[in-house]
């Protein structure tokens, strides 16, 4: 359920990709600007079994930190729940990437992750690293 009290239904189940792009065009534009403005850090520790990149909120400038919070809220309101390694997170998909946080309250969230969609497969409600 989002902040407005509505239960989220995964858009892919009833809205085409083209329609989602039209409906959410301004949001997607804002997200694209944010995720392309700052360099991502590769998570070396997870390279072999869960390759991904991340932002650390405190390493961003003031505007970046504000956008970080906005995007985390956006993910939580518009994403889909899926498990990885037995832990459920809310993911958001855009432009070949999945974005997620570790699920702490917004004010405690300091890490934003993203991974290449092509490296993972969703099986039911679980995401699995597609090591190929």
The pTM score is: 0.82
Q: pLDDT digit string (tens) for 41-66?
A: 999 998 888 999 999 999 999 999 99
Distant-in-sequence, close-in-space partners of 57: CB < 8 Å, separation ≥ 6: 65, 68, 69, 109, 110, 111, 112
pLDDT at 12 over 70: no
Sign of CA dihedral 7, 10, 16, 19: positive
Q: pLDDT digit string (tens) for 68-97?
A: 999 999 999 999 999 998 899 999 999 999
């Amino acid at each position: 359920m989002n902040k407005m009290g509505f239960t989220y239904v995964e858009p892919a189940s009833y809205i085409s990709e083209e329609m989602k792009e039209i409906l959410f065009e301004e949001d997607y534009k804002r997200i694209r600007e944010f995720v392309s403005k700052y360099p991502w850090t590769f998570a070396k520790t997870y390279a072999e079994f869960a390759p991904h990149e991340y932002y650390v909120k405190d390493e961003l400038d003031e505007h970046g930190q504000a956008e970080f919070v906005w995007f985390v809220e956006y993910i939580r309101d518009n994403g889909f729940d899926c498990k990885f390694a037995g832990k459920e997170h809310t993911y958001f998909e855009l432009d070949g990437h999945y974005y997620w946080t570790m699920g702490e309250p917004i004010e405690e969230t300091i890490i934003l992750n993203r991974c290449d969609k092509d490296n993972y497969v969703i099986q039911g409600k679980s995401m699995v690293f597609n090591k190929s």
